[in-house]
Each structure stands twice: as C-alpha cells, then as structure tokens.
Amino acid sequence: MTAERSPTAADTELHSDPAAEPDPNVDTLHAAVSDSPRPPRPSAVSASLTFGWRALLKIKHVPEQLFDVTVFPIMFLLLFTYLFGGALAGSTSAYLQELLPGILAMTVVFITIYTGVTLNDDIDEGVFDRFRTMPVWQPSVIVGALLGDAVRYTIASTMVIGLGLLLGFRPEGGAIGVISAVALLLVFSFSLSWIWTALGFIMRTPESLMGVSMLILFPLTFISNVFVDPRTMPGWLEAFVSINPVSHLVTAMRGLMHGTATAGDVIIVLGLSAVFVVVFGPATMYLFHAQQ
Amino acid sequence: MTERTSPTNAVDRERDSSAGATSTVSTRNGAASVTGDRQQDRGARGTTNETDPTDTATTAQTATETEREHPLAIETTGLVKHFGETKAVDGIDLAIPAGGIYGLLGPNGAGKTTVIRMLATLLQPDAGTARVFGHDVATDGDAVRRRVSMTGQFASVDEDLTGRENLVLLARLLGYSRAQAAERTHELIDAFGLTEAATRQVKTYSGGMRRRLDIAASIVVTPDLLFLDEPTTGLDPRNRNQVWDIIRALVANGTTVLLTTQYLDEADQLADRIAVIDEGRIIAEGTPGELKASVGSGVLSVRLRDPECRDAARDVLTSVLDAPVELESDPAALFARIEDSDRVTQALDALAESRIEVTEFTLGQPSLDEFFLEVTDRQTRGGADRDATTGDEMRQEGVE
C-alpha cells in the first residue's frame, strides 16, 4: 500500500501552505453530510431570479465589466456630437437631439454580446455543467443571465441619457417618452441576446465569439440611421438600412423620445423582438441540450 | 454480488498505508502468499470480461432480477458514445448496487469522464441504456438530477464569486429559503475548513481548498449518488487525504460514490470494486485485491546513497531477483518487477554484502502504468489466457 510510486504523491504539488488551510473538521463533517433534507424544487421564476442575482454578484466582483457600458457611450456621444454635429446638422445641439437615441440604442445593442461571452465563459469554466446537473428549470440559467444583463443595460441607458441632458438633449416626449424608449430598447436587447446565447454554445472560445459578434454588429449599428439620414446614401445602402432592425429600433426610440412615434414604429420593433426570441430561443435550448 | 467494504475496513486500509516501508514489506509478504494462488483465475477473469461482452451483460441482468425491489444505483447496458470518428465509450456494461464506492480506473482519454457525463445527464448516449436508481438518463433526466450530484473538472464553481456566495447560490437553486441557505452554507464552510476563505473569490483559492469547495458544492443537498471525476488529480498528499476523509464520511452516511481516477492507489484506498477502462471498454473488473493479485506481487524500488554504485547494484539485484531491473530517472534509483517477494530480503542482504548503501526501499503494488500494460498485454494474448479455465470461467461457459 505504499504511495511512493504513485504520481500523485511525488509529482504534483500545487499548493501546500498548511497554516492557511485548516483541516476539515471531522465531527462537523459528519454532521454536515448527514442532515440535509431536500427542500421543495424552486419555481422557474425563483430559479431565474437566483441566476440574475449571480449576474449582479459578478458585476460586484468584476466591476471592470461596467467599463464598456459607461466609458464607450460617453466617448461616442462626445465624439460624434462635437466632431460631426456642426457639419451634419448645422449645430451640435440640433445633431444631439437626433444622435442621442441612436447612440443609446447602439451602446446597448453592443453590450448584448456579453451575454454570449459570459455564457461561453461559464461553459469553459465548467460551472455551467454543474447547473445542468441540478434539478432546476433548465432555461433559468440563461433567463437569469439575461435578467442580470437588463441591469447592465439600464446602467448604460442612465449614463447616456444623463450625459445627454447635460449636453443639451431636450426630449419633447418628456420623461414618459424617454422611459418608454428605454423600455422598448430593453425588450429589443433581451430578444437580441438569444442570438448570442445560441452562438455562445456554438463558438469554442469567448474570443472567437466576440469576433463573430462584432462582425455582425458593426454593420448592423453603423449601416443604420444612427449617425446620418439614410437618404444621403447610395440606393443599395439605403435599402439595407431600411430593413436593418437597428434602424427600426432607432426610429421608434427617436419617435418615443420626441413624442412623434406611431404605433406602427413600435409594433415593428416588438415584432422583430418576437422573431428573435421565437427563432433563437428554441435554437439556444436545442444547443443547450446538445451541449457536449 | 459485491464484496462490500465497511467504513471500518476503509480506516484500517488507511492506517496500513501510513505505516513505514519496513512494515509494508511484511504486509506485502503476507498478502502475496494469500493471493498468490488466486492469481491465475483473476487474470483469466479480466480477460473474460473483455473478450466476451455478453458475460457482463448477463451479470447485469441477473442483478436486476434479484434486486428488483432495490434498483441498482447505476445500471448500464451497451453504453456507447462517439465524438466524431472517435468511440469515446464503446459498449460499457455496469451494474453498481447502492452504497459504497465504485471506481472507474484508466488513463486520460479512456472514456471515464464520458461515462460519468452520460450518467449525470450531461451527454446523451449514442447507443445502449443507462439507468440511475431505475431512472433512464435519456428520458427521465429530471428524476436522475434529483438523485445525483457531480464534482470534477467539468462541473465546478464560479471563480468570480466567493466560496460563500457559490454555496448560497446553489442552496437557493435547490430550493432553500434565504435563511436556510445561509445556515446550510455556514455549516458546510465550517465542516470543510473553509471559514477563513469563505469571503474570498474562488480564483484566489489553493488547489486543495478549491477541491473541497467543489465537493461541498456537490453535497448542499446530500445526493444519493455522487460522481467524483478525478477528485484528487493535482493535489498534494495532505490535501488528497482530506478529500479521501470527506469521501469516506459521505459513504458512511449512505451516499453511493462513483469515482474516476488515474491512480491505482487511490482506487485501492477508496473503492470497493473497480472497473478498469481503456479505449472506452472495460478490460478488467473486480475488487482492488483481485486486480492487483492479477498482475503479480509488485515492484521493488531501491534508492542508493551513491549514484555511482547503481550499475553494481543493478547486477546484484538482477542475479538475486532473477528478474529484469530497470533504472529510474532519479540517477540513484532503480526498480524491479518481482513475482516472488520472498527474494526481496535476500536481495537487500546481497546489496549490504556488496557494501552498496541503500537509503530507501519500497515494495509496492505495480503502478497504474505497469498494471495497465500488464492487463492490456494480456488482452492481446487473449487466447492463451482463456485456456486457463478456472472457477470464474464456468459462468462464461454456461453462457456460450
């Protein structure tokens, strides 16, 4: 029974700092393994909220991840307003009224990528498999992550709108208009995220996922009506812009913020959101179950 | 159908292992003479399982009939999983009763983890069936997940969160109220010696702390069946012993453990029965004693004070032991596979007479490598061994 020839004993000493690592307490150990009756299974909502809480804890421990949602929108807003504002709209303040809803949409649409990246990280780390072996409503791990993301989107929206107001953004739709625009944006982003969750299962590394997502999002956000009036573009480009979901989102948000939105504008965005969820929700869950 | 080892036996075995080299020699001698005559039939049995898969299938069937009221903890028939062209698992039959520790032993890539992942509902089998406490893993995953828990490289904890947060998260997901979750977390952290580290992010943990937290995370609700995928890989001996203590405490409480390991001595220390897996197939199955006895009595390792004397020592040992003596990478060490452990004392005497100073010697079981080479080698020589029909072969003949 000698252990001398075993590879464990001799070759692999990772960490051993006896002072820092008290032994497990044998008495409490036996108590701890013996009395743990299984509580009733939590509801789907409760499980999703618990996963949402996890996402918030991750923000707490890794606050750097908020860098993207705060610094980038501020940079973009200042840059475009003062660099191009005068040239594009005659004055920076006139341009800001058009630009701000677009920048807001663009910012939040971009950070939806992190949903997929986080998921991909979880799979890599192995924590995802632990959740999958637990008797909880299986989609709750993804729904919870998306709920946590909604918090991130809200933070980003608050930043952009706050800065906009300071710079002279005056929404004619008032507080209600702004809040409904943000609400619409959250619905759209939540729905769009299912694309990234599906991709999160397909791509092997967070880096490659990030690359693919950027490849999709750059054209979607820049070839849109965020920065300039599409009527100034060549016909073929204008055609793309007019079917781009981000353009529809920005049109509806501008309308809501300035009090000129039609029901049609909003319905198109809600319809697109529904399509995303209906197509990519089941695709995500299929990939979830096929996960190797 | 199983030789059950009670927790008391397990403790005895542990004491055995902590004894010094000298007393190990005497134990070895005793063990070798007891098991010597069983050697042949065990060897033949390992071969039997491999060459005729219906043999193990029959075992599983018989077990189901006799234990209908108490379904087996794990029962698989013809389990197969491919990854592309590779057959990761290639027809595995297991019948593991509830209680105790069952070991899956094999090298990296043998298919151990894939078997566990299928049993834990993480992978769908491509062919064959797997049942956990009577629930089919493919069609009744939720019922399986209510009985099992998993720890290993593929089921870990969130490194960004603290140890406490991880446990509270899992407790909440399992349905505990906020207060109950906090209480259960406290209890586990205390029991697993993680109090100091509880409020630190898991990514700052040492290997041993991390592994204890992994296991704590798996028993927030004590599972009926716990999968432990290489629980001590990469741990130092002290941490490894701690993990073993935890596993034994769980088993004493009634949890069934399915353990995968690359280390023969770990399987030996913990498991009541072992299946040796290679290239997705079971190539030997039995109690640790049976398996070890099947590959000869062991290995003598000698370490010299003066590396210069190694060639001389090699000559002395070769002549006394009448067996090939190999050099280890340590310039002062050499080892020999031995069939007859009585010659060990003669060999050491001979070294002393030649004035070759020995600083250390051990008479141990074969390493997994040696054990493994022996078993796979025997497998390729299959025909010859099958002729050595013994009591264990009777069953196979009955089938044919």
Chain A partners within 8 Å of B300 (Cβ): none
Tell me the per-residue pLDDT of A116-137, one tens digit each, with 9 for 90 and over: 888 888 888 888 888 988 888 8
Query: From the candidates A21, A50, A64, which should be mutated to test the interface with B, based on the most B CB atoms within 10 A?
Result: A21
Q: Is pLDDT larger for residue B62 or for residue A186?
A: A186
- B3 to chain A, closest Cα gap in Å: 20
Q: Where are the alpha helices (DSSP H) in B200-253?
A: 207-218, 237-252
Count A/B contacts: CB-CB distance under 8 Å: 221
> Is the predicted pLDDT of residue B201 greater than 90, yes or no?
yes
The per-residue pLDDT for B38 is: 36
> Is the predicted pLDDT of residue B66 greater than 60, yes or no?
no
- Residue B24's pLDDT band, with cuts at 50, 70 and 90, is very low
Superfamily of domain B7-147+223-293: P-loop containing nucleotide triphosphate hydrolases (3.40.50.300)
- A44 to chain B, closest Cα gap in Å: 10
Residue B315: what are its φ and ψ, rounded to 5°? -65, -45
Domain assignment present for A27? no
Distance (Å) of CA B43 to CA B95, B103, B279, B286, B294: 21, 19, 19, 11, 5
Query: Residue type for B302, please?
Result: V
How many domains does one find in chain A?
1
The per-residue pLDDT for B42 is: 35
Distance (Å) of CA B206 to CA A17, A20, B167, B198, B200: 9, 9, 18, 13, 12
Average pLDDT, chain A: 84
Query: Rounded distance, CA A275 to CA A175, Å?
Result: 29
Contact B266 A8 (CB under 8 A): yes
Instruction: Indicate the pTM of the whole model.
Output: 0.72
**In chain B, where the domains are located:** 7-147+223-293, 298-365
Average pLDDT, chain B: 76
Contact A1 B268 (CB under 8 A): yes
| Mean pLDDT in residue range B260-273 | 86
Weakest mean pLDDT among A86-90, A171-175, B36-40, B187-191: B36-40
The per-residue pLDDT for A275 is: 96
- DSSP summary character for residue B155: B
Query: Rounded distance, CA A40 to CA A50, Å?
Result: 15
The per-residue pLDDT for B76 is: 92
Query: Rounded distance, CA A147 to CA A154, Å?
Result: 11
Out of B174, B234, B268, closest to residue A134 by CB: B174
Query: Rounded distance, CA A6 to CA A9, Å?
Result: 6
> Is the predicted pLDDT of residue B237 greater than 60, yes or no?
yes
| Mean pLDDT in residue range B292-308 | 79
Which residues of A, range 115-144, sit inside 8 Å of B by Cβ? 122, 125-127, 129-136
> Is the predicted pLDDT of residue B12 greater than 70, yes or no?
no
Weakest mean pLDDT among A78-92, A128-142, B332-346, B349-363: B332-346
Query: Rounded distance, CA B320 to CA B348, Å?
Result: 9
| Mean pLDDT in residue range B71-98 | 89
Instruction: State whether CATH 3.30.70.3400 applies to domain B298-365.
Output: no
Task: List residues bridging with B261 in a β-sheet.
Answer: B105
The per-residue pLDDT for B367 is: 60
Which residues of B, range 364-383, sit inside 8 Å of A by Cβ? 364-365, 367
Weakest mean pLDDT among B176-185, B213-222, B358-367: B358-367
Is B330 at the interface with chain A, CB within 8 A? no
Chain A partners within 8 Å of B165 (Cβ): 57
The per-residue pLDDT for B110 is: 85
Q: Where are the beta strands (DSSP E) in chain B?
A: 74-83, 86-96, 101-105, 127-132, 135-136, 148-152, 225-229, 256-261, 273-278, 281-286, 298-304, 325-327, 333-338, 358-364
Out of B145, B192, B299, closest to residue A133 by CB: B145
Which residues of A, range 83-122, sit inside 8 Å of B by Cβ? 122
- Residue B322's pLDDT band, with cuts at 50, 70 and 90, is confident
Contact A36 B221 (CB under 8 A): yes
Residue B365: what are its φ and ψ, rounded to 5°? -70, 160
Contact A62 B120 (CB under 8 A): no
Is A274 at the interface with chain B, CB within 8 A? no
Chain A partners within 8 Å of B122 (Cβ): 129, 132-133, 291
Q: Where are the alpha helices (DSSP H) in B174-302?
A: 178-191, 207-218, 237-252, 264-270, 288-293
Is A54 at the interface with chain B, CB within 8 A? yes
> Is the predicted pLDDT of residue B103 greater than 90, yes or no?
yes
Chain A partners within 8 Å of B159 (Cβ): 125, 127
Length of chain A: 292
> Is the predicted pLDDT of residue B23 greater than 80, yes or no?
no
Tell me the per-residue pLDDT of B380-394, one tens digit each, with 9 for 90 and over: 654 434 333 333 333
Query: Rounded distance, CA B14 to CA A253, Å?
Result: 70
The per-residue pLDDT for B28 is: 34
Q: Which is nearest to B226 in space by CA: B303, B359, B120? A: B120
The per-residue pLDDT for A191 is: 92
| Mean pLDDT in residue range B113-128 | 90
Contact A6 B170 (CB under 8 A): no
Weakest mean pLDDT among A119-123, B27-31, B116-120, B215-219: B27-31
HSE value, Cβ hemisphere, 13 Å, CA-based, for A22: 13
The per-residue pLDDT for A270 is: 96
Q: Where are the alpha helices (DSSP H) in B219-335?
A: 237-252, 264-270, 288-293, 310-321
The per-residue pLDDT for B118 is: 92
Q: Are B62 and B253 in contact (CB under 8 A)?
A: no
Task: List residues bridging with B327 in a β-sheet.
Answer: B334
Tell me the residue range of the domain where A92 lies.
Answer: 44-290
Most confident of the following: A104-118, B11-25, B282-296: A104-118
Domain assignment present for A90? yes
The per-residue pLDDT for A69 is: 74
The per-residue pLDDT for A74 is: 87
Query: Rounded distance, CA B182 to CA A210, Å?
Result: 37
**Joined tokens for residue A220:** 């979607």
Contact B169 A15 (CB under 8 A): no
The per-residue pLDDT for A34 is: 67
Query: Rounded distance, CA B70 to CA B111, Å?
Result: 28
- DSSP summary character for residue B273: E
Domain assignment present for A185? yes
The per-residue pLDDT for A180 is: 94
| Mean pLDDT in residue range B15-41 | 34
Query: Rounded distance, CA B31 to CA B35, Å?
Result: 6
Contact A135 B146 (CB under 8 A): yes
Query: Rounded distance, CA B163 to CA B153, Å?
Result: 17
Tell me the per-residue pLDDT of A173-198, one tens digit each, with 9 for 90 and over: 889 999 999 999 999 999 999 999 89
Which residues of A, range 2-21, sit inside 8 Å of B by Cβ? 2-9, 12-18, 20-21
pLDDT tens across the length of chain A (292 residues): 433 444 443 333 344 444 445 566 667 777 777 656 778 888 999 999 999 999 999 888 888 877 877 888 888 889 888 888 888 888 888 889 989 999 999 989 988 888 888 888 888 888 888 898 888 888 898 889 888 888 889 988 998 999 999 998 999 988 999 999 999 999 999 999 999 989 988 888 888 888 898 899 888 888 888 888 888 888 898 889 999 999 999 999 999 999 888 899 999 999 999 999 999 999 998 888 776 5
The per-residue pLDDT for B377 is: 67
The per-residue pLDDT for B29 is: 34
Distance (Å) of CA A222 to CA A68, A107, A211, A215, B24: 18, 12, 16, 12, 75
Out of B161, B169, B221, closest to residue A50 by CB: B169
Burial environment of residue B178 by CB neighbours within 10 A (0 to 12, 13 to 18, 19 or more): exposed
> Is the predicted pLDDT of residue B366 greater than 80, yes or no?
no
The per-residue pLDDT for A51 is: 94
Q: Which is nearest to A53 in space by CA: A177, A147, A165, A181? A: A147
The per-residue pLDDT for B279 is: 87
Is B328 at the interface with chain A, CB within 8 A? no
Question: Least CA distance to A18: which residue of chain B?
Answer: B238
> Is the predicted pLDDT of residue B397 greater than 80, yes or no?
no
The per-residue pLDDT for B365 is: 65
The per-residue pLDDT for A178 is: 94
The per-residue pLDDT for B381 is: 56
Contact B121 A50 (CB under 8 A): no
